Amino acid sequence: MTHYDLLVIGFGKAGKTLAGKLSAAGKKVALVEENSAMYGGTCINIGCIPTKTLIVAAEKNWDFAQAMSQKETVVTRLRNKNEAVLKGAGVDLYNARARFVANKTVELTAGEDKEQLTADIIVINTGAKSNVLPIPGLLDTAGVYDSTGIQQLSERPERLGIIGGGNIGLEFASLYSKLGSQVTVFDAAPTILGRDEEVVAKLAKSYLEEDGVSFKLGVSISGVKNSGATVLVTADGEDYAFDAVLYATGRKPATEDLGLENTDIELTERGAIKVDDYCETTVKDIYAVGDVNGGLQFTYTSLDDFRIVFGKLTGNGDYKRSDRGQVPTTVFIEPALSRVGLTEKEAIAAGYEVIANELPVANMPRAHVNNDLRGIYKVVVDKKTKLILGATLFGAGSQEIINHITMAIDNKIPYTYIKNQLFTHPTMAENLNDVFNF
C-alpha cells in the first residue's frame, strides 16, 4: 500500500493546481483520474474551452467540420499540456477508478488491476455530471446527447432539439444556429433567463429568434423516441422531429460510486459533499473542491477553492469561502450576456432604495465601429450609499467589462467614480461613464 502526503481524486481545476503546487514544494503527491480524455478537467475537455472555441469558429463562419477540427486541436493541446505540467512537477498520475474503502484509504481499479493508496490529505475533485430528468425514452433513444456527447458529432444535425432553456441550453442553441442547424428549445418555464433583468431576457429571446432559434416554452415533455433515424420529442401531445436532441437540464455533483458510504463524509440534502468554510469535509484532512461541493459550477470558483485549501494547508488560512466576493457570470450567446450582483427587482425586494439606469448598445460609438448594435447595459445603485448593487451587461465584449464592475462592488467603490473615470476611446468600456450618469 503506497502512502502519499496528498492524494487528489479528479483532474479538475482546483485539484490539479493543488497537486502541482504541493508537489513542486516537495510533497509526495498523487492524482487519480478515471478517464484519460478528462486530463485537465471539465473546463478544458468538455466545458468552457471547447464550447467557446466552437463559438469563435462559428463567428468566423467556419463550416461544421472546420469548427470541430479546431476544437479538437485546442482541447488536445491543452489536455497534453496539463498532463505534462503535473508529471513535470513530480506528481504520480494514476489512470484508474478511485473508491474509498475507509476514511483515508482509496482503492484504485484499472481493468483487472487493483491497488490501495493512503494519504495524509485527500482532496475530492470529481466535478459534476449531467442531470437526467425522468422523461420516458430519454436515455434509450439513439441520437440523444448530453452536453458532452453533442460535442463529439461527426456531422452537423440539420434539425437540433434542445431540452432545457438554461445557460447551457441557450449557449448550444446560439452555437448550433450559427453553424447552420435549425434549433428548437423546449422548456417548462414560461420565459428564458427568468432570473435576469426582464428587458434583457426579452431582448435575448428576440435575438436568438432572429438567428433562427425557435422556442417552445411552458411545455411538458412526455417522451422521446426514435422513428427510423429521426428523434421524436413529444411535448404537450405534439411530436417534433429532429436529427439530434440535446438534454441540458442542469448538472449535479458527481459523488456516485466514490464509496462515500465507507467513510464518515456527509452529503447535503442536494447530494453535494458537505464542506466547511475551508472546503474541509466532515472528515478531518479530507477536502472537497469544485463542483462536487455544491458551490457555483464555474472553473473560476473551483480555482478559488484551490486558493482557500492551499492557504489552509500551507499555514496561511486567512482567506475562506465566506470571504469570497461577488461572482460575475457570462452566458455566451450572441452577444454575450454578463451579470454581477443584484437585479433591480432583487435589490428592491432586499429593501434598498434603488436607482437604475439603462443604456442601449445602439447608443455606443464603439458599437457602430464594430457594426454590432445589439444589446443593452443596465446598472442598479443604492441611492443612499451610492454603492453599486448590480449590473447586467448585454453586448459584445461584456464578459471582459463585467469584471471591472465586480471589482468596484467588492471594493465598495461608489458609482460616481466610474461615472467620472477616464476610459480609452473608442471602447465599449467607456460607456460605463454614461450608464452610471444618473
Long-range contacts of 26-29 (CB under 8 A, 24+ apart): 28/3, 28/4, 29/4, 29/5, 29/90, 29/91, 29/92
Model confidence at 36, pLDDT cuts 50, 70, 90, reads confident
> What three-state secondary structure class fits 181?
coil
Indicate the average pLDDT of the chain.
Answer: 95
Residue ranges of the chain that CATH labels 3.30.390.30: 329-435
Model confidence at 42, pLDDT cuts 50, 70, 90, reads confident
Which of these, 345, 337, 336, lies nearest to 195 by C-alpha position? 345
The residues with which 341 forms a beta bridge, in sequence order, are 390
Query: Rounded to whole angstroms, how far apart are CA atoms 280 and 248?
Result: 30
Q: What average pLDDT does range 156-165 have in this prediction? A: 97
Q: What percent of the chain has pLDDT over 90?
A: 91
Confidence at residue 390, expressed as pLDDT on a 0 to 100 scale: 98
Does residue 43 carry a pLDDT above 90? no
- CATH 3.40.50.1100 is the classification of domain 144-247: no
Residue positions counted in the chain: 438
Q: Point out the catalytic residue in the list 3, 368, 404, 425.
A: 425
Does residue 316 carry a pLDDT above 90? no
Model confidence at 266, pLDDT cuts 50, 70, 90, reads very high
What is the fold, at CATH topology level, of the domain defined by 2-129+251-323? FAD/NAD(P)-binding domain (3.50.50)
Confidence at residue 38, expressed as pLDDT on a 0 to 100 scale: 85
Confirm if 138 and 249 have CB atoms less than 8 A apart. no
Does residue 5 carry a pLDDT above 90? yes
CATH of domain 329-435: 3.30.390.30
Query: Rounded to whole angstroms, how far apart are CA atoms 251 and 12?
Result: 15
Model confidence at 77, pLDDT cuts 50, 70, 90, reads very high
Which of these, 249, 9, 221, lies nearest to 117 by C-alpha position? 9
Q: What average pLDDT does range 178-186 have in this prediction? A: 96
> What three-state secondary structure class fits 329?
strand
425 catalytic per annotation: yes
> What three-state secondary structure class fits 289?
coil
Does residue 66 carry a pLDDT above 90? yes
Confidence at residue 44, expressed as pLDDT on a 0 to 100 scale: 86
Model confidence at 45, pLDDT cuts 50, 70, 90, reads confident
Model confidence at 35, pLDDT cuts 50, 70, 90, reads confident
Confirm if 158 and 245 have CB atoms less than 8 A apart. no
Does residue 403 carry a pLDDT above 90? yes
Q: Report the predicted TM-score, pTM, of the whole model to 2 decimal places.
A: 0.93
Residue ranges of the chain that CATH labels 3.50.50.60: 2-129+251-323, 144-247
Q: What average pLDDT does range 227-237 have in this prediction? A: 96
Does residue 127 carry a pLDDT above 90? yes
Q: What percent of the chain has pLDDT over 70?
A: 100
Does residue 41 carry a pLDDT above 90? no
Which of these, 259, 253, 266, lies nearest to 302 by C-alpha position? 253
Confidence at residue 394, expressed as pLDDT on a 0 to 100 scale: 98
